[in-house]
Structure 1
Amino acid sequence: MQVTVKGKQLDVGDALRTHVKEQLATQVGKYFGNPVEATVILSKDANRYKADIQVHAGRGILLQSTAEANEPYPAFDEAAEKVAKRLRRYKRRLKDHHERKTLAELPVTTARKYILEADGEEAEGQGDESDAAPEVNGHHAMIVAEMETAIEMLTVSEAVMRMDLADLPALMFRNRAHGGLNMIYRRPDGNVGWVDPAGTTGTVKQ
């Protein structure tokens, strides 16, 4: 696995870089025979250190975690343990994922993903309606970023696993049962909300 270690407001020495690469390769390697790549960003803000981990471990499998501590080593170790904990939790499902030969044959929908400015009031006299950004809450929001994203065909349990491994607040997917668009999201009470316009709705306990 190719591991890239970057420092932000922090000089990452050889010892820390080696520690990060060895620990991450060991923990992820237990569950993936050939993980693709990983990026670890270590940063410092005042007296706090932060570690952000992102691992691409196969088709559609993204692992993400973050942690903070008073020193860089504990920050990374905590973030890495979060990754390891999720991998242990989904060990059986990940094994099934690898063995499912038909996975690569399932259709993937390409969509556009936008990041909108939180308080994007349109400036007075700036452009006309045809050039305006999408309307949000009664006003036109400024598009901060635009990118391509993939909406995959998954079961609900697979979608929950993907959302949890990537530490995402929500995930859109096509329900393999009927092909329609579904959404799952993390609720404040710790459960997972499931929105199914086709009529099969529910809440998945975690």
Structure 2
Amino acid sequence: MEPRQTDDDTASRIIVSGHQVDVGETLRGHAMEQLEALAAKYFGGAEDITCTFSRTGKGGFGCTIRVHSGKGLHFDGEGENSAAPVAFNQALERVAKQLRRRKRELREDKAVNPTRDGVL
């Protein structure tokens, strides 16, 4: 898949694939839309995002999302459910939580932090 340009002109490569699973256009479109929003929200974009759908041994679907946001920062999330979109949403929420925590950690680490000091 080709690299996609986000609104702020930073290149972000998003790959949605299936491991022995055919990913339909609707699911692929939903995943791309959500992953683009996630990339734009945290750190102003991500270098690349990989989303892989697979079948589980229980007859359901598994979803693995890996976000590389630069400087050796990798965030992983997994979800498993009988429905592929639900598995995707679980994995996306796990990655979003990691990104939120990392962003908060960076923001609170500064010597002068208007948010933490209550200046704003």
SS at match of 1:81: helix
The aligned residue for residue 144 of structure 1 is: none
Q: Percent identity?
A: 38
- Structure 2 CA distance, aligned partners of 1:13 and 1:95? 39
1:95 is displaced (CA, Å) by 4.5
SS at match of 2:75: strand
1:89 is displaced (CA, Å) by 2.1
Contact kept? 1:50, 1:68, Cα under 8 Å: yes
- Structure 1 CA distance, aligned partners of 2:39 and 2:106? 12
Match of 1:14 among 4, 25, 46: 25
Structure 1 range deviating more: 31-40 or 67-76: 31-40
The aligned residue for residue 113 of structure 1 is: none
- Computed over aligned residues only, the root mean square deviation of the Cα atoms, in angstroms, reads 2.0
- Structure 2 CA distance, aligned partners of 1:22 and 1:34? 13
Give the unaligned 5+ runs of structure 2: 1-11, 111-120
Match of 1:92 among 100, 104, 108: 104
Contact kept? 2:39, 2:45, Cα under 8 Å: no
Matches within 5 A, 1:36-185: 36-45=47-56, 46-95=58-107
TM-score, scaled to structure 1:
0.44
Contact kept? 1:28, 1:84, Cα under 8 Å: no
1:79 is displaced (CA, Å) by 0.3
| Residue identity opposite 1:58 in structure 2 | G
- Structure 1 CA distance, aligned partners of 2:97 and 2:29? 22
- Structure 2 CA distance, aligned partners of 1:10 and 1:64? 20
Larger radius of gyration between Structure 1 and Structure 2? 1
- Structure 2 CA distance, aligned partners of 1:94 and 1:82? 19
- Structure 1 CA distance, aligned partners of 2:108 and 2:73? 13
Give the unaligned 5+ runs of structure 1: 100-206
Contact kept? 1:31, 1:91, Cα under 8 Å: yes
- Structure 1 CA distance, aligned partners of 2:25 and 2:43? 26
Match of 2:43 among 3, 25, 32: 32
| Residue identity opposite 2:24 in structure 1 | G
TM-score, scaled to structure 2:
0.73
More helix by share: 2
> Which 4+ stretches in 1 moved above 4 angstroms?
none
1:96 is displaced (CA, Å) by 7.3
More strand by share: 1
Give the total of aligned pairs: 98
